[in-house]
Structure 1
Amino acid sequence: MDVNKKDKIGSTPLYLACRHGCHDTVKYLLDLNGQAFNSRVDHVDTTITNKKGWSALHVACRKGHIEVVKLLFDVGMNINDTTNSGSTPLYMACLKGHYDIVKCLLDLNGQEFNSRVDTIIKDKEGWSALHSACQNGHKEVIKLLNYVGININDTTNRGSTPLYIACQEGHYDIVKCLLDLNGQEFNSRVDTTIKDKEGWSALHSACRNGHKEVIKLLINVGMNINDTTNSGSTPLHKACLKGHYDIVKCLLDLNGQALNSRVNITVKDDKGWSALHLACRNGHKEVIRLLIDVGMNLNDTTNRGSTPLYIACQEGHYETVKFLLDLNGQEFNSRVDKTIKDEEGWSALHLACRNGYTEVIKLLIDVGMNINDTTNSGFTPLHMLVLEVILKQ
């Protein structure tokens, strides 16, 4: 019988035994003649991989079967073999947080570090074993990798560092570990200034994903709170876009003051959008309230001339529009200039009519917006309503 026969996905009997951690079966397959390694002509071929390029060692490491892993080492399996996607056995073990497997791989001969293991190998997306461990929050594994000198500032193909990945996922303990590996206030080996290819820092990523405690750590070690991405977005922009109230409050009130003077609320992105524009775009009313409380310009315009009110009307956010028009509990908030038009002469009312937002239209008319106002092309709000009806048919 062919001991190397594959199933539909390319798995051999040895692979399946390793996958399920069947130590005695693996030992039997590797030692059919009672020798250290089965040397029969039709011997078990340990180099065979499945359709994804996974070897028996890859699957044993991923599943955490340490005794099986040791057997495979004993017969000389390639410890640096890579799958079709470029993953090594070490990567697999780090991905799943198998501390004992990682320690075994790094210290096979009882030495401080096993020189057979290549820790610099990355997968096809440029992820190292450390990136993998950081993504999944495996603190003790990260300590092992750091101990053997893996590059803590290594970047993926997209420019992400292990710190960036940990911040993106919100792993507080991992971020703290990376920033304080030597028990100091700040680990100087970690370069917090590295950005990905889109210019995002670890702080941008944490703000975008709403990880408040991580953000506090990053600010405490001096990360630039006003840093901008390639498109001009600040961490505040990212938090406002997603409506992370606690994050926005944290950024604006880091020192328990009415406004954290370190935060520049006037920064706009490359399209001229402020944090307030972004919050209005997605209808984050409580975030909008915070921004207005610290004095953001209600009538600020984008490069195309759009105000926060205009943006809210364009998206049909009734509650946001009502809030902007009635900030002080009055019938109409006089701070909002409803006459501002964009570069094509469109008012907020034109936009609401064009998109058929009936309740928003009523609000705008109630505060006295000009129902006969025309765009640069001569269109009135009524024209826009008719166009909207025609396009729906």
Structure 2
Amino acid sequence: MVWGQLLIDKGFNVNQADGMGQTPLTAACNGGNKKIVQLLIDKGCNVNQVDGMRQTPLTAACEGGNENIVQLLIDKGCNVNQVDGMRQTPLTAACEGGNEKNIVQLLINKDGNLLNQVDERDRKENIVQEIIDKGCNVNQVDGMRQTPLTAACEGGNEKIVQLLIDKGFNVNKVDGMGQTPLTAACKGGNENIVQLLIDKGCNVNHADGMGQTPLTAACWSGNEKIVQLLIDKGCNVNQADVMGQTPLTVACEGGNEKIVQLL
């Protein structure tokens, strides 16, 4: 704190990035020192500046889980919906950091937008539940072209998948790559999610933008039980993708003898 005050008193530009592209304010938010954050803001730091590391001060504070700094930045007028260089909002950052409800609630109270990313990282079910309860559009495609359900399916999070379905998610809605939740689940290799989606009416033969079907995805992931489940549900075992590959050629390339035998 003393050294920071001294540098500022000597005329240091408080908005100047270092050699790694990080600004003093983002660095202080990452470090979790509220007094330094307060000092920098008082000296004119831009609370919405995206640094060379593509972070904003608020996303940095949210990732670090520092509620006091988050509150300070909000009080100072930072944009709670600002997307950083990674297409991440503060609310997304808070969820990815595995934070409990306090930070999420702060952002929601300020109309924070999730960008509807519910992905394979360390999100907690109670955070997702709270965001949905605040009116989040569960069917929206995000900046990475994923829907919440395709992301959760690929990540293998059964509770979040069930939660999204219970909230009315269309289980046959494709994401920006033409992928259905079922194909994503087959990639992720979670049999319970695959079974749930099929029970909810997922199309077992839908091909994505690359012509990949749930069966092809399951063959790539090497999950014999999912392959058997899809076959039992009547999927087309001969359907080729845009490269002309069939589930059998994929299984042969992967060297999975049991799947080859099933096909």
- Structure-1 residue corresponding to 2:70: 142
TM-superposition CA deviations, 1:105-144 (whole Å, max 9, x none): 44xxxxxxx3544434442234232222122111101111
Instruction: Indicate whether 1:291 and 2:219 are aligned.
Output: no
Instruction: Indicate whether 1:131 and 2:77 are aligned.
Output: no
Structure 1-normalised TM-score? 0.58
Of 170-179 and 120-129, more deviation after overlay is shown by 120-129
Cα displacement (A) at 1:158: 3.6
**Unaligned runs of at least 5 residues, structure 2:** none
Partner letter of residue 203 of structure 2? Answer: N
Partner letter of residue 185 of structure 2? Answer: A
Bigger-Rg structure (1/2): 1
- Structure-2 residue corresponding to 1:16: none
Distance, in Å, in 2 between the alignment partners of 1:120 and 1:93 is: 14
What is the aligned counterpart of 2:250 among 351, 366, 369?
Answer: 351
The answer to whether the 8 A contact 2:141-2:176 is kept is: no
Distance 1:304 1:78, change over 3 A: closer
- Structure-1 residue corresponding to 2:206: 300
Partner letter of residue 207 of structure 1? Answer: D
Structure with greater helix share of residues: 2
Partner letter of residue 248 of structure 2? Answer: L
- Structure-1 residue corresponding to 2:156: 243
Partner letter of residue 155 of structure 1? Answer: V
Instruction: Indicate whether 1:222 and 2:135 are aligned.
Output: yes
Distance, in Å, in 2 between the alignment partners of 1:269 and 1:122 is: 28
Distance 1:70 1:252, change over 3 A: same
- Structure-1 residue corresponding to 2:31: 96
The answer to whether the 8 A contact 1:299-1:307 is kept is: yes
- Structure-2 residue corresponding to 1:151: 79
- Structure-2 residue corresponding to 1:177: 106
SS at match of 1:215: helix
Cα displacement (A) at 1:251: 0.9
TM-superposition CA deviations, 1:230-273 (whole Å, max 9, x none): 6753110011111111211111124xxxxxxx211111235432
What is the aligned counterpart of 2:147 among 219, 225, 234?
Answer: 234
Distance, in Å, in 2 between the alignment partners of 1:145 and 1:271 is: 36
SS at match of 1:336: coil
Distance, in Å, in 2 between the alignment partners of 1:356 and 1:163 is: 42
What is the aligned counterpart of 1:268 among 167, 174, 186?
Answer: 174
Partner letter of residue 177 of structure 1? Answer: L
- Structure-2 residue corresponding to 1:363: 262
What is the aligned counterpart of 1:78 among 12, 33, 41?
Answer: 12
TM-superposition CA deviations, 1:261-292 (whole Å, max 9, x none): x2111112354321111211232212112112
The percentage of aligned residue pairs carrying the same residue is 29
Distance, in Å, in 2 between the alignment partners of 1:229 and 1:119 is: 25
Of 125-134 and 340-349, more deviation after overlay is shown by 340-349
Distance, in Å, in 1 between the alignment partners of 2:21 and 2:210 is: 46
Distance 1:179 1:324, change over 3 A: same
Q: How many residues align?
A: 259
Give the alignment of 1:368-383 within 5 angstroms: none
Relative contact order, higher structure (CA 8 A, sep 6+): 2
- Structure-2 residue corresponding to 1:23: none
Distance, in Å, in 2 between the alignment partners of 1:268 and 1:115 is: 48
Distance, in Å, in 2 between the alignment partners of 1:351 and 1:148 is: 55
The answer to whether the 8 A contact 1:226-1:235 is kept is: yes
TM-superposition CA deviations, 1:281-339 (whole Å, max 9, x none): 232212112112212122333355543223323442222223334xxxxxxx3x31445
CA RMSD in angstroms, aligned pairs only: 2.8
Partner letter of residue 103 of structure 2? Answer: I
The answer to whether the 8 A contact 2:104-2:127 is kept is: yes
Structure 2-normalised TM-score? 0.83
Distance 1:142 1:271, change over 3 A: closer
Cα displacement (A) at 1:227: 0.5
The answer to whether the 8 A contact 1:208-1:235 is kept is: no
Partner letter of residue 120 of structure 2? Answer: R
